[in-house]
Amino acid sequence: MQSQIMTYTKFVRTTMLRVANKETAAEQAKYFKHVIDFHGLKAPILDKCWKESLREPLQTKFPNVSDQLKVAYELMKSKYFEEKNVGIKILAGNVSKIIPKRKKKKNDGEKNSDDDELNGLKVITDLDEQVFQDEHVYDWGTCDSLSSQVICELIKRDSSLGQVVQQWKDSSNLWQQRSACVSFVKIAKHGEFNDIILDICKTTVQNKERFVQLGTGWVLRELSLADLDAVTNFIKQNYSHFSREGLRYAIEKMDSKLSAKLLAYSPSDSSSEEEMENQDEEE
């Protein structure tokens, strides 16, 4: 099986090299501060490669979802952004099979398939151990695509996975910490994961690294649409931990009066507010 996987990953690279653009690759690498290599495929060309050249051979050679995921994990090891992206496309395309909304019942006596033990928890665990812990994510583009297109979609289908991703807040890997935040960005506004998101942010906001700060601010921005008071209080309680950039992300969707107040906020203001509240209670 491993030799078949390697043959396919080589096919992916060969396909991309046919349409590679050195000038575009140089521009993309510069934009990403040279932390990851590029073949120089812009998004529309990459999508075309996937749909017209790569998807069908994958499904033909690897009919089982579990085997397709092994291919995806192998592609995530690549030093090229576009190859990692194909791995993410494979994972994203199989979300509905990993966690079906309605699981089909087997006929009596039907033999189990290789995919029977495949579930959302296993995929989240594999991403944790094989992708993040092995340090195959080291740029914001790969991190955010994996988080929003795969991890978020898995959580949407099985909310219990939110508690698993919540534990990523304690990771020593900054990209896994960012992923813990970004995986909830698309669903934060619905108000289903408020406590989990605030708990994640309580840890991640203490990380001064820029991309963790921005991930924290980003998810808080969306959570403010569901619970403005909770986010406002969180910002005040953790004000000293925010970078200015992270704070601006968090308050972006608040009204101008509140956002200006929070930008100018001082932790000493909270003690003054408490004193005023105590005086009101005594009166």
Asked whether this chain's domains 1-98 and 143-266 adopt the same fold, the reply is yes
Helix (H, G, I), strand (E, B) or coil at 227: coil
Q: Average pLDDT, stretch 155-167?
A: 98
pLDDT at 27 over 90: yes
Report CA-CA distances (Å) from 177 to 37, 167, 194, 212.
Answer: 23, 9, 17, 6
pLDDT for 106 equals 45
d(CA 265, CA 127): 39
Instruction: Please report how the helices 194-204 and 210-223 are oriented relative to each other, as an axis angle in degrees rounded to 10.
Output: 160
pLDDT of residue 115: 58
Q: What is the mean pLDDT of residues 9-37?
A: 98
Give the mean model confidence (pLDDT) for residues 212-239: 98
pLDDT of 277 higher than 50: no
* Candidates 1.25.10.90, 3.90.1580.10, 1.10.10.10, 3.30.360.10; CATH matching 1-98: 1.25.10.90
Q: Which residue has the higher pLDDT, 145 or 100?
A: 145
Whether residue 141 has pLDDT greater than 90: yes
The structure's pTM equals 0.90
Mean predicted confidence (pLDDT) in 141-148: 99
Q: What is the mean pLDDT of residues 249-263?
A: 97
Q: Would you state the structure tokens that stand for residue 157, as one six-digit string?
A: 């289908």
Single-letter amino acid, residue 65:
V
Give 195's pLDDT tier (boundaries 50, 70, 90): very high
Residue 107 to residue 109: CA distance in whole angstroms: 6
User: Which carries the bigger pLDDT value, residue 110 or residue 144?
Assistant: 144
Residue 104 in this model has a pLDDT that exceeds 50: no
In the predicted model, what is the mean pLDDT of the chain?
A: 92
pLDDT score for 267 = 83
Q: Could you confirm whether domain 143-266 is CATH 1.25.10.90?
A: yes
pLDDT confidence of residue 179: 99
* Domain boundaries of the chain, sorted by first residue: 1-98, 143-266
Q: State residue 43's pLDDT score.
A: 97
